[in-house]
Amino acid sequence: MSQLMTQEEERAEQARLDEAERLDWFEMMQSPAAERIWLQLLQELGAGRLMVTENDMRMRNIADQILNRMAQAVPDIYIRIVCKLQGIQ
């Protein structure tokens, strides 16, 4: 039973950390400047572009991880950024 409690505690701690990260992303993305900076960084990482080389794939993977965190925290800003990355205004 003790082992089960430890696993439950680990899950609870991970859930707490995930929620804290989501809230940090939410607070950060409330700034229009943050939105502009992340858009530029994501463009530099290759988000929204065709992947040609292995390095392109690595950079795109990083961009996708950033976008996933952003989507979980602030879906409306995520949608706006993805539209801009795709050239949809």
Identify the band that residue 78 occupies on the pLDDT scale cut at 50, 70 and 90.
very high
pLDDT band at 89; cut points 50, 70, 90: confident
Can you give the pTM of this predicted structure? 0.80
Q: Could you tell me if 73 and 26 are in contact, meaning their C-beta atoms sit under 8 angstroms apart?
A: yes
DSSP string, 22-86: HHHHHHHTTSHHHHHHHHHHHHHHTTTS---SHHHHHHHHHHHHHHHHHHHH-HHHHHHHHHHHT
| pLDDT, mean over the chain | 92
pLDDT of residue 2: 53
